[in-house]
Every structure is written in C-alpha cells, then in structure tokens.
C-alpha cells in the first residue's frame, strides 16, 4: 500500500523545458494518465509522464485538463497548474485491464479446479479469448507500421508479428494445457473449503451468517511493489 506522499501527483508545465509533466502518483494514477494521452518516461531514479511531442499549446491544455478531471474523479491526491484546473469530473468506465484483473480475483476465491479452468477459458479461448484479441491487436499494429514508410517501420512490423505468433502463441499453448489439466481434475482445493453458509449451533449473535475465515488480501500490483 502506497503512502499518501507516494500517491500524491503533480501535473505542471515545466518552466525550463516547457513540457507538460506529471510526476508522482501510484499505478492507478499512471493508468489514468496513459489513457488520457500521456506517455511514461522511465529514468534511472524516476518514472514520470509527459505529453507527446509536437502538440500545440491548446491541445496540451485540453489533454492535461482531461487528465485532471479523470484523476480527481478517481480520488487521486494531486495539484496542477491553474491552466489545467477544472471542476469537471469524468466517470470512468471499467477498463479492459480491470476486467481481466477481476478474473484473477475470482480465481483467488475459487474452491475447485473447474472454477479456475472456467476463468482461464476467458484468457485462452481460441477465437475471442483475451490472448486471441491481444494477438489481433499486435497484427493490426504491425499492418499500420508496415505502411508508414520509415526505415525502421518494417522491422518493427516484423517484430510485432513475431510476438503475436511466437510470444503469445507459446503463452496461449501453455495456458491451454494448464486449463485442460485443471478441467480434467475436477477436484476441490484442499485448503479452500466451500462455504456452506451455515452458522455454528453455539453462535449467540443473531447477525452471524457463517463461520468461514476471511479471505487473505490480494497481493499488491507489480508496479506498486517496484516503487
């Protein structure tokens, strides 16, 4: 869990470089920034975000103001230049990454192997699973690069196609094997008993619903652990 100081974000126009920069914030803020048009910059001792190069000042202000609205809607503690300040708030839709992460949360609660297999099917389904969709994104991006005409665009397109076929293909194959193994086992997890919803007979509290211990908290995201 990041402290408030670590979660605090500053979004300002740098007086020396004239770039619009966002510094600080946790993984949740970084995701909002990147979906608002900012790009991450990883240095030896710092990770920060900037707007793409070549934008006119009006477009920079529009993107920065949109980011402020989204960050404040998400409750991110922050400060910003007056030019980017806004009372607008934007209700964020559930991101695709969050939807995939919800599968992990479901797997953490799973009590049988077939429950896990059912959730892995959303990742491994050959036609419309998460990995199939991601491979399609890589190929579409490769097609875009192929037609740009720059000297390095062809190799980038080849690399993307290689990742789609060999990188994701190998991962998908391994996960399908694991899913098949879990589906065939059809066995309960020995350390995750199924909740019966029953209250012990010696329980005196009328509000009690069951005697199951609480689930352990999920591990922190990788990005948070690396800070």
pLDDT digits (tens, 9 = 90+) for 12-67: 999 999 999 999 999 989 999 999 999 999 988 889 999 999 999 999 999 999 99
pTM for the complete prediction?
Answer: 0.68
- Tell me the CA distances in angstroms from 102 to 94, 120, 173, one per residue in order: 10, 12, 22
Q: Which residues contact 56 (CB under 8 A, 6 or more apart)?
A: none
Tokens of 74: 């998400």
């Amino acid at each position: 869990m990041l402290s408030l100081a670590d979660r605090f974000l500053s979004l300002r126009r740098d007086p020396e470089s004239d770039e619009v920069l966002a510094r600080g914030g946790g993984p949740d803020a970084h995701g909002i920034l990147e979906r608002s048009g900012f790009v991450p910059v990883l240095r030896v001792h710092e990770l920060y975000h900037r707007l793409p190069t070549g934008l006119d000042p009006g477009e920079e202000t529009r993107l920065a103001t949109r980011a402020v609205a989204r960050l404040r809607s998400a409750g991110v503690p922050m400060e910003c230049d007056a030019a980017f300040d806004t009372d607008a708030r934007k209700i964020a839709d559930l991101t695709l990454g969050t939807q995939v992460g919800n599968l992990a949360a479901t797997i953490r609660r799973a009590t049988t192997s077939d429950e896990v297999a059912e959730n892995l099917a959303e990742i491994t389904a050959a036609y419309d699973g998460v990995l199939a969709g991601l491979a399609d994104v890589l190929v579409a991006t490769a097609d875009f690069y192929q037609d740009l005409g720059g000297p390095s665009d062809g190799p980038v397109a080849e690399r993307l196609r290689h990742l789609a076929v060999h990188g994701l293909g190998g991962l998908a194959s391994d996960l399908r094997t694991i899913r098949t193994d879990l589906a065939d086992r059809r066995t309960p997890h020995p350390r995750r008993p199924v909740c019966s919803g029953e209250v012990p007979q010696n329980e005196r509290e009328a509000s009690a619903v069951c005697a199951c211990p609480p689930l352990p908290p999920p591990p922190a995201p990788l990005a948070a652990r690396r800070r």
